[in-house]
Amino acid sequence: MRPGPAGAFVATGVSVEPIVEPPLTAALIRDRHDRLVARLRAAAEKAGRDPEGFRVLAVTKGFGVQAVRAAREAGLGSFGENRVQEALPKVAALPDADWHLVGRLQSNKVRPALAAFGTIHSVDSLDLLRRIERIAHDDDRRARLLLQVNLSGEPARAGFDTEWFATQSGRRGELAAALSEARHAPVIGLMTMAREGVPEQESRATFGRLRRLRDALREASGLALPELSMGMTADADAAVAEGATLVRIGTAIFGPRPA
């Protein structure tokens, strides 16, 4: 095999060789990012959505400070991280960037998360929502929150149960009441993940359902809830077609994560 697209092998009839990734330069990152954005704008436009209505978060999980610096040099300004501890040196190196926590947040990591991130996408329980609000108040921090909903129903996935979320989003529901109490850490939208490796039609159905849940919660709570965080490298086109405003992209920008 010979090198092919990222993460793939190509047959040569002689041997199997892994891909040799090119150096991760600012120019390469800019080119990958620009081609991705152009493709996603076309997908949004085809679906009748605003082609300028989404932002790409460059997810730097597994990549070091140098990769983030290269991305910043390429003109990228919004970054996503999955783990608080891994993010801290990167945030310290680029404190002026727009940092988002997109991975699961443990309750004992709330304080450092609030110090590092302006936006947290992975609020998956009322207890966590209330803890973030309490610590943000005590530490005089501000953060924007998204509620993660487990629309796939997979036990390994974090997020609010879908049926509970729908029921408690009503005007008299427990969720709507909790949102009204958030002052230092207001909720600005919802987040989800589609099942991996499914047809685009199923991904779109998942993302469309999140949009409808957001719309229902918006009506019940009176909050603007402008953000929908959905879509990664494999299903970003389906996400923007269904109204994603924040798309979490790692591999399509940085290539495969280092082993």
Digit-coded pLDDT (tens) for 3-40? 444 444 444 555 666 667 788 999 999 999 999 999 99
Answer yes or no: CATH 3.40.250.10 is held by domain 23-254.
Answer: no
Q: What is the pLDDT of residue 106?
A: 95
Q: What is the pLDDT of residue 9?
A: 44
Q: What is the pLDDT of residue 177?
A: 85
Q: How far is CA 153 from CA 7, 36, 122, 160, 215, in A?
A: 28, 29, 16, 10, 21
Q: What is the pLDDT of residue 21?
A: 79
Give the tens place of pLDDT for each residue, 204-251: 999 999 999 999 999 989 999 999 999 999 999 999 999 999 999 999
Domains of the chain by residue range: 23-254
Q: Is the pLDDT of residue 165 over 80?
A: yes
